[in-house]
Structure 1
Amino acid sequence: MSELRNETTVKSFEQLVPEFKNMLAYFRVYPDKFLDYISDSTTKIKLYPFQRIWLRVIFRYRMTYITATRGSSKSFTSILALYLRAMMYPNIKLTLIAPQKQQAAAITQANIESIWSFYPILQNEVKSFTFGKDYTRLVFHNDSTLDVTAVAQGSRGLRKHGIAFEEICQMDAHRDNIAEVILPMLANNRNTKHGIDPNEIHKTQTFVTTAATKQAYAWEKLAETLMLMQEGKSAFVLGNSFELPVLHDQLDINYINELRESPTFNPMSFAREYGSEYTGTSNNSMVKQEDLEKCRVLKVPELKATKEKDVQYIISYDVARSEKGASSAMCVFKIKPRGDGSYIKHLVNVESFTGMDFRSQSIYLKEMVEKYKAAQLVIDGNGLGVGLIDFLIQEVSHHPPYSVTNDSSYDKYRKPNSIPMIFIIRSNSKETKASDIHNLFMTSIANQDVKMLYSEFQARGDIKRKDPTELAEILIPFVYTDRLVDEVLNLEVHQQGTNTVVKRISGAIQKDRFSAMQYGLFYVYLMERRNMQRKRETIIDSSKMFAFKAPSY
């Protein structure tokens, strides 16, 4: 300020108001310059150029959408923008939204503590704050507030002036609440003692996320923001791949290359998390991601049979297309009668593995059948599946032989102690036609007729384990279910005459888990159809309910 630079005595605050206004107006456009202004030689942080750009864009546009990879400090920069806006706009109400409120609170608290560590002077702007397990709230001396809000009906009626969405790529299940509850919070503009500032950018929305699929809600919001930007509206879209944090030593390029070359790391996940690529397609997709996410409600996997009454377990298995390098996949369904011939279907476990020969696979499957007390083992009988069945119908490692229930050509191998366990799926047979299997899968997902485990991301937030080895073990079924979802979202449907044909979008993604899942669903459908048929056959002929006697005259 000129008075201070010229060592002029300042008699009152009013003397500084004109220059204070100019400085505030400048910092509202260049918030990074404010951080430079309050920094000195002891400041522990120096903003990266991309962080400066992000801050300026967030302050200058009503809608901002940033797709960034791990290591880009996206959460820190987003919350720093909220904090600075709360300081510079009196009586503004700002909030952070994350897939889970507990997660939002943890992210906000950790980053606010980092802000105070890097810029201790900024803590003086806060009059009071509350940090709880699922609650965070800061009240500033200028009566602004910064808090976290749950994506739930309980938040209906709240009023905010700006919202930051953290990882909207995980919010597909919340799209209705976002539209009906969260966005209506922005109904009112920030008011001042002089009224509403016509030059202020009101109702700000900031989306900071990793990439998702092109069927996700995140993709829809990105497209919406991009369209507004193209129309010249107050909107801006930014993004970066792993090269940016690598450039600034925030990610190790050797680690990135190891991930990219690892056969166990899903290339679609790599493209999203480290390439900021929105994967898949929104045209000809086999299922809607919204429907698929609605199926993901199970919080606990089942690793063996439970004592629950009236339930059965069905194990379905897709055999690797080759013994070298390919994966075999297993799905475990728990089914319970509804009372009308149909079943409640829960996909309670998914497993996948490579490098096992047929004998080892047969032993493993028999162990799984015993563990789950399975009623049926459904196996892909195409190609190499025949080789696995040859081992399953034998006694292997003290496990009894199995027999095939739907192919009489195997009857000659039946032994006195054979257990009728194997149901063979052959895509070219009339009973298990591939087109019918695909159609049933699509119908099951569209109707949410099967329930699946929720995501690893959600499970990690709910499961409290400090030992990383134990946590990793618990998360395996959730991880494999995520991979199953990736496989499904990588599929397109095409009609060839009356047949439904499924094709992969990316050849790098296999469809082993998907195949195992659709085989299991189709077998349960056949069970339901048999139940309905028996029900019709047992209906009593109404004519037999009456007795007639000849009249006497």
Structure 2
Amino acid sequence: MWSSPEKYEREVEDVNARLAKIEGFLEEKEARSTLAQFLRNNLFFTTYLLTGIKLAPFQEITLRGMFNRKFSMCVWGRGCGKTFISAVYCFLQCIFEPETKILIAGPTFRTARFIFNNIEKFVESKGAELLAQAFGHKSKRNDAYEWKVNNGTITAIPLSGEKIRGFRATVLVLDEFLLLPEEIIKTVLMPFLVAPQNMKERLEIREMENNLIEKGFMKEEDRMVFENKAKMIALSSASFTFENLYKTYKEWMTKITSNEKGDASYFISQMSYEALPEEMIDGTIIEEAQSGGQSHSSFLREYCAQFTDGSDSYFSAKKMHDCTIPDGQTPTSRISGKDGQKYILGIDPSFSNSPSSDYFAMSLLELDEETGYGTLVHSYAVAGGDLKDHIKYLHYLVEHFNIVFICIDNAGYQFIDSCNESEWFSKSKAELKFMDFDSDKEGIDYEKEMRRARFQYNVEDKKIVFKQVFTSNWLRKANEYLQACIDHKKLWFASRVTAHGTQFDRVSSTKIPIDKTGHDNLLDLIEFQDSWIYQTKKQCALVEVKSTAKGTQSFDLPHHLARSTSASRARKDNYTTLMLANWALKCYNDMMSEKEEIGATFSPRLI
């Protein structure tokens, strides 16, 4: 359903009817102008002419909304084509408005590059020869992609560091808006649109007008009115109702429906996968819907474009949001340890090489020794990777963080043995050793285990690893403890380092062995950490608790997600490593509160 309040209603000229009445020969200038009017008012034909792509009716309507409004927001379900429509808009805007400067930004540089790469595919595809003629020089650097088009530019940038503040834009395209920090949007991105691009021309006109007014040839009210051509386009799937996307959505909706008329105009498109033409719907979405997904909040957000409050999950999304360090404050996500800090690591191995397998996951908590609380500052998640790559990554963590305790799933403890046998651990003499204690004990038995663990524990000798067996009793206790830590703010999630200019500049100058991390460059590693701390919370919010007839509890993904076998399926392995790390933190605090027992060093004997 499309609707518009009365204040936006106006008489729309039928341009095609007017152009159809033109007869006879046209001079070149008039012919050019007439063709431009026709193409601007027939976006389906224009897109087909330039690229050979046929737009669906909803796509053409969306493009018209983006062209006719200053602020546009597309809250679309997964698979609805947010990236596609934004890429089409970018090249059409540059063609119809020469000297347009479009800035594409997202929570990570990879996100921004994705739209840029889609534009690249359009331009370089067969049938897009006309479109390609409008594009000029293209440059790709580690910190920006830029393409000159029709005396303007299309630029994709990362949202990190202070140097992004120097950009100016006519159009701002923000992908994955729900993941963008509110402070970055207000203080960094919005100012991009403030300064007009043709400032020199405007100043010259004002100077001429001042001279004419002084001489009496012109009145003050006759001054030229400069049109503000700045636009902002926000693209996103739906979010929780406590996040900034929903807040912005409500603000814009209020401005659309209010009777007040301002300079700014707004367009919002909210579309579920169900509104797509049948031939455009991905079959996997239908399968998820048929297997019970439509009743789950994650499906409603990601596919049905509905905002949910996040209070229906075992681990409350709202409470995890409240346990997240605000952007601009520390600790931020880390790629190396802070001097004097201690870190606790949880590991959930996966040895499959299939891209649809579980993640090989790790979570690293930074310990606050005053309170005993932990903050998630680093994550690792790779599906289908080689064992040697996982070993290299753990070696990087051991070398760059002061890890004092490690908990690993007992089903994959052989990974530690493989690490110790590897060339990287052998060269650095960083052999990790196991401690033998059972953290599943309770009461007095648990206290005895902690004393026994304290006696074995030795940081200098790297005897800091223990295996955790996933019994049903332990799973219940560990999940209840994780929930309690979140509810009572004893577990925190680090802020985004890309949203903290000073911290980002410091972190980006850190020397890291990139070849061990699996990333192309340092920026990718930094952005990955910011993203995966959020993804860990998202995984936790998906977890459901179920009870069998015998009363045994299980903690797993919803059935419609758990049965998926695609490479892009939902997973919960970072939730598992967070649970392991949080449990290890509890054990570490309990263990260190025990007095260190000194074993007997002298045994008397009768001579």
TM-score by length of 2: 0.54
Find the counterpart in structure 1 of residue 82 from structure 2.
74
Distance between the aligned counterparts of 2:320 and 2:103, measured in 1?
34
1:314–1:375 contact (8 Å) kept in structure 2 = no
2:155 pairs with 142, 147, 154, which one?
147
Please list, as runs of the form range in 1=range in 2, the aligned pairs for 1:377-416 lying within 5 A after superposition.
404-406=445-447
1:59 pairs with 62, 67, 81, which one?
67
**Is the counterpart of residue 486 in structure 1 residue 534 in structure 2?**
no
CA shift at 1:286, angstroms? 1.6
Question: Structure 1, residues 99-155: CA drift from partner, whole Å, max 9, x if none?
Answer: 2234423431332431453543233233433355653323334x3222223212211
**Is the counterpart of residue 288 in structure 1 residue 321 in structure 2?**
yes
CA shift at 1:159, angstroms? 1.6
2:43 pairs with 20, 32, 35, which one?
32
Please list, as runs of the form range in 1=range in 2, the aligned pairs for 1:434-453 lying within 5 A after superposition.
438-439=484-485, 442-446=488-492, 448=494
**Is the counterpart of residue 275 in structure 1 residue 304 in structure 2?**
yes
**Is the counterpart of residue 97 in structure 1 residue 105 in structure 2?**
yes
2:323–2:491 contact (8 Å) kept in structure 1 = no
Change (3 A) 1:202 1:517: same
2:494–2:533 contact (8 Å) kept in structure 1 = no
Find the counterpart in structure 2 of residue 364 from structure 1.
411
CA shift at 1:184, angstroms? 0.9
Change (3 A) 1:420 1:79: closer
Find the counterpart in structure 2 of residue 136 from structure 1.
145
Give 3-state SS (helix, strand or coil) of 1:291's partner.
Answer: coil
Give 3-state SS (helix, strand or coil) of 2:52's partner.
Answer: coil
1:109–1:131 contact (8 Å) kept in structure 2 = no
Q: Which moved more, 1:365-374 or 1:285-294?
A: 365-374
1:105–1:133 contact (8 Å) kept in structure 2 = no
CA shift at 1:509, angstroms? 9.4
- Aligned length in residues: 435
Change (3 A) 1:449 1:90: closer
Change (3 A) 1:521 1:66: same
Give 3-state SS (helix, strand or coil) of 2:118's partner.
Answer: helix
Find the counterpart in structure 2 of residue 319 from structure 1.
none
CA shift at 1:52, angstroms? 0.5
Task: Identify the structure with bigger relative contact order (alpha carbons < 8 Å, sequence gap 6+).
Answer: 2
Find the counterpart in structure 2 of residue 237 from structure 1.
268
Find the counterpart in structure 1 of residue 547 from structure 2.
none
What letter corresponds to residue 521 of structure 1 in structure 2?
N
Question: Structure 1, residues 396-424: CA drift from partner, whole Å, max 9, x if none?
Answer: xxxxxxx953389xx9xxxxxxx998899
**Is the counterpart of residue 178 in structure 1 residue 211 in structure 2?**
no
Distance between the aligned counterparts of 1:138 and 1:446, measured in 2?
41
Find the counterpart in structure 2 of residue 205 from structure 1.
232
1:166–1:208 contact (8 Å) kept in structure 2 = yes
Distance between the aligned counterparts of 1:258 and 1:33, measured in 2?
32
Distance between the aligned counterparts of 1:260 and 1:35, measured in 2?
36
Find the counterpart in structure 2 of residue 524 from structure 1.
585
What letter corresponds to residue 32 of structure 1 in structure 2?
L
2:285 pairs with 256, 260, 270, which one?
256
Find the counterpart in structure 1 of residue 526 from structure 2.
none
2:72–2:266 contact (8 Å) kept in structure 1 = yes
Find the counterpart in structure 2 of residue 398 from structure 1.
none
Percent identity, please.
Answer: 14
Give 3-state SS (helix, strand or coil) of 1:207's partner.
Answer: strand
What letter corresponds to residue 93 of structure 1 in structure 2?
K
Change (3 A) 1:89 1:66: same
2:140–2:146 contact (8 Å) kept in structure 1 = yes
Find the counterpart in structure 1 of residue 601 from structure 2.
none
Give 3-state SS (helix, strand or coil) of 2:167's partner.
Answer: coil
Change (3 A) 1:491 1:203: farther
What letter corresponds to residue 270 of structure 1 in structure 2?
F
Change (3 A) 1:182 1:199: same
What letter corresponds to residue 140 of structure 1 in structure 2?
V
Distance between the aligned counterparts of 1:368 and 1:406, measured in 2?
29
Distance between the aligned counterparts of 1:140 and 1:331, measured in 2?
43
Distance between the aligned counterparts of 1:132 and 1:513, measured in 2?
32
Distance between the aligned counterparts of 1:229 and 1:211, measured in 2?
19
Distance between the aligned counterparts of 1:432 and 1:116, measured in 2?
53
1:440–1:522 contact (8 Å) kept in structure 2 = no
TM-score by length of 1: 0.59
What letter corresponds to residue 275 of structure 1 in structure 2?
C
Give 3-state SS (helix, strand or coil) of 2:183's partner.
Answer: helix
Distance between the aligned counterparts of 2:590 and 2:496, measured in 1?
17
1:246–1:252 contact (8 Å) kept in structure 2 = no
Q: CA RMSD in A?
A: 5.8
Instruction: Give the unaligned 5+ runs of structure 1.
Output: 301-308, 317-328, 353-360, 387-402, 412-418, 452-458, 466-476, 493-503, 536-553
Give 3-state SS (helix, strand or coil) of 1:405's partner.
Answer: helix
Find the counterpart in structure 2 of residue 126 from structure 1.
135
1:338–1:344 contact (8 Å) kept in structure 2 = yes
Distance between the aligned counterparts of 1:126 and 1:351, measured in 2?
37
What letter corresponds to residue 67 of structure 1 in structure 2?
V
CA shift at 1:162, angstroms? 1.4
2:239–2:308 contact (8 Å) kept in structure 1 = yes
CA shift at 1:62, angstroms? 1.0
1:313–1:335 contact (8 Å) kept in structure 2 = yes
Please list, as runs of the form range in 1=range in 2, the aligned pairs for 1:458-497 lying within 5 A after superposition.
463=518, 484-486=536-538, 488-489=540-541
Find the counterpart in structure 1 of residue 252 from structure 2.
225
CA shift at 1:175, angstroms? 3.6
Give 3-state SS (helix, strand or coil) of 1:225's partner.
Answer: helix
